[in-house]
Amino acid sequence: MTDNLASGFIHPRTVSLRHLWARINLAGVPVLVWLLLVVLLPNLLLVATSFLKTSNGVILLEPSLTNYARIWKSMGFWVLLWRTLSFSFLGCVLATCIAYPLAFYVGRVARRYKTLLTVLVVLPLWISLLMRIFAWRIILGQSGVLNAALVSTGILDAPSGAFLYSPTAVVIVFAYISVPFIFISTMGAFEKIPRDLVEASQDSGASARQTFMHLIWPLTRRNLAIGFSLAFLVTVGDFVTPAMIGGIDGTTLGVVVSTQFGFANNWPYGAAVAVALMLSVGLLLGAIIALTPAKGVMLGEEAEDSSPPSSGHKQYGYRFGTAGVLAAILYLYAPLAIIVLFSFNSANLQIFPLQGLTLHWYQELLKDQSLLEAAQRSVVVAACVVTLSVTLGTVFALIVYYSKLKGSRFYEMAFALPIATPGVVLGIEMVLGTELFGIPSGVMRIVIGQMSFVMPVTLLLLLVRLRRLDPSLMEASLDLGANRWQSFVHVLFPMIRGTIVAGAFLGLTLSADDVMVTLFLSGGAPTLPIWVFNQMRFGFTPSVNAIFSLLLFTCLLVVGLATWRNAVKPTKALA
């Protein structure tokens, strides 16, 4: 995703191939239809709704500024806005402190374990957000792991209630969620800095600090800003964490919006808050991007690992780095491990020491009819979402790349907009959109809602891949006597198949995991994450641990399969 933002121009040679495909220019129509219905319309509806008002829970169709006046005058709103932005900002800053050095280490120092470390840091993105939040509840709770540890070591006399339900807790969890985003986007930048640039800097007499300030930082700051923005958008749109972890002082605007579309049932006010939130976030991120200018384009190939490893690996700094990486990995995985551990614990309470080994909580799951229904629904939804998204995403990517659509950059931005929309806002936008077309709550709505962000992911992944292909490969195929269809089947498809499969896997986890958007669309038909979310809100059973553990294993299996698939196939140096 970030790569796409950073990737540059289109090779001039492709222009002629576009001529060849110009005949299918009519195919640009579906692209426009999608953008109109799934991107433009929901956004317009949101803005339009924010200018309506309600009376006794019924929306009145007359324009008014009531909501904005209410926002403007409400002290509460400004406090919440400040809090929302600062939670996300502090969370992302904290995550940057962890992820930026980590990315430096993995991208430039670690050689042997580079791939493994990358997978380890990014893997949590694939693991249920609910599970990650829930894990922190177990750690920070009054009878939680942290308190138990502090009391048993004598630091505290009695368990403290100060950890959970506090702004600090929200910031910690936001940071936890943000680390992989910031890592993955800065890691790319660190990797791409050729070794000889660093050597040239040292050669020019720059100290390590000077090299960082004048070379590394300017070349990586834009990617950091992009990762930061992504994480910021994700956390700002996250109403689950504040609701589960934050308590009263930890409430954010996301929670306000979700309740307005939930039991408070004041859609226009909720829409107005959402619009105000989007504007503030837009301003803040715009400023961050503006403060991190990226000048010039890196020439030549990406840094290959052909040069010999620099000497002095066994230095003090190297050991320090290794220790840091291990600490970061611990931070990322300890919460997950705790959940798995407790899922086999026979006691009803989430406290150490563990009582005894049991599979009781897993058996419990099998008996729960509503859970099985939810799981089944999740599978159906995921299958529909992935199939449709991958098909549409592939077709749209080919259209955007090969047909002469004017301003393909603009199309890309438009496609990416739902990904960049905070979850809670996208969720209500989709409610408004599907409501307009009379699509009932349930599977249909969920599928459409989830496709709004899964389809762009597959599309953008594929576009990046298409841009990296040597354009003369398709020309060579045509030149060798294959017509366009044959060229697609025999040349293009085999080369993009891997990306399509990767997009499908990613879409699968995105769909199976989603709470933010799905919550608004499911009505009485929850998917698995929604069912779990409801369980967590209305009382807790250790069965939740068991579900999460199962989800974790499934997810590890999927990622493992995907990695294995890539590893088995011969690496394609020319591709």
Partner 1 sequence: MGTPQSNHVLSLEGVSKTYDGAQKPALENVSFSVKPGEFFSILGPSGSGKTTILRTVAGFEHPDVGKIVMGGKTVNGVPPFKRDVRTVFQSYALFPHLTVRENVEYPLRMRGEAKAIRSGKALEALELVEMAAFAGRLPHQLSGGQRQRAALARSIVSRPTLLLLDEPLAALDLRLRQQMQHTLVALQKELGIAFMYVTHDQGEALSMSDRVVVLDEGKIAQLSTPREIYFAPSNEFVSRFVGRSNLVPVKFETAEAGVVGKIEGTGVPGLLAPRAGPARMAIRYEAVQISTLNGSPHPGTLRGVVEDVLFMGTNCEVNVRCGALNLIGTVPAVRESTFLVGQPVQVSFDVQNTQVFYD
Which one of 244-252, 266-274, 410-418, 482-490 is the stretch in contact with partner 1 (CB under 8 A)?
482-490
Contact 6, 192 (CB under 8 A): no
C-alpha closest to that of 138 among 341, 422, 398, 397? 341
* φ and ψ of 58, to 5 deg: -105, 135
Binding to partner 1 by residue 575, rule CB under 8 A? Answer: yes
Contact 119, 563 (CB under 8 A): yes
Distance CA 201, CA 199 (A): 5
Footprint of partner 1 on 419-478 (CB under 8 A): 470, 472-473, 475-478
Among residues 13 and 313, whose Cβ is nearest to partner 1? 13
Binding to partner 1 by residue 481, rule CB under 8 A? Answer: yes
Write down the least CB distance from residue 203 to partner 1, Å. 28
Footprint of partner 1 on 493-532 (CB under 8 A): 494-495
Q: Is 119 helix (H, G, I), strand (E, B) or coil?
A: helix
Contact 343, 542 (CB under 8 A): yes
Which one of 14-22, 98-106, 369-377, 514-522 is the stretch in contact with partner 1 (CB under 8 A)?
14-22
Binding to partner 1 by residue 405, rule CB under 8 A? Answer: no
Binding to partner 1 by residue 388, rule CB under 8 A? Answer: no
Instruction: Please count the helices (runs of H) and the strands (runs of E) in the chain.
Output: 28, 2
Distance CA 314, CA 410 (A): 49
Among residues 481 and 539, whose Cβ is nearest to partner 1? 481
CB atoms within 10 A of CB 529: 26
CB atoms within 10 A of CB 236: 29
The binder of partner 1 chosen from 348, 486, 563, 566 (CB under 8 A): 486
Q: Is 153 helix (H, G, I), strand (E, B) or coil?
A: coil
DSSP 252-289: -HHHHHHHHTTTT--HHHHHHHHHHHHHHHHHHHHHHH
Among residues 481 and 524, whose Cβ is nearest to partner 1? 481
Bond preceding residue 353 cis, omega within 30 of 0 = yes
Among residues 290 and 573, whose Cβ is nearest to partner 1? 573
Query: What type of residue is 381?
Result: V
Footprint of partner 1 on 219-278 (CB under 8 A): none
Query: DSSP secondary-structure letter at 110?
Result: -
Write down the least CB distance from residue 492 to partner 1, Å. 10
Contact 98, 175 (CB under 8 A): yes
Binding to partner 1 by residue 483, rule CB under 8 A? Answer: yes
Binding to partner 1 by residue 490, rule CB under 8 A? Answer: yes
Write down the least CB distance from residue 565 to partner 1, Å. 15
The binder of partner 1 chosen from 5, 6, 17, 27 (CB under 8 A): 17
Distance CA 313, CA 307 (A): 15
Among residues 97 and 480, whose Cβ is nearest to partner 1? 480
Paired tokens of 72: 């403007």
Among residues 197 and 473, whose Cβ is nearest to partner 1? 473
Binding to partner 1 by residue 94, rule CB under 8 A? Answer: no
* # chain residues binding partner 1, by CB under 8 A: 29
Binding to partner 1 by residue 22, rule CB under 8 A? Answer: no
Which one of 144-152, 202-210, 281-289, 565-573 is the stretch in contact with partner 1 (CB under 8 A)?
565-573
Binding to partner 1 by residue 379, rule CB under 8 A? Answer: no
Binding to partner 1 by residue 367, rule CB under 8 A? Answer: no
Binding to partner 1 by residue 570, rule CB under 8 A? Answer: yes
**Binding positions for partner 1, rule: CB under 8 A:** 15-17, 19-20, 470, 472-473, 475-483, 486-487, 490-491, 494-495, 570-575
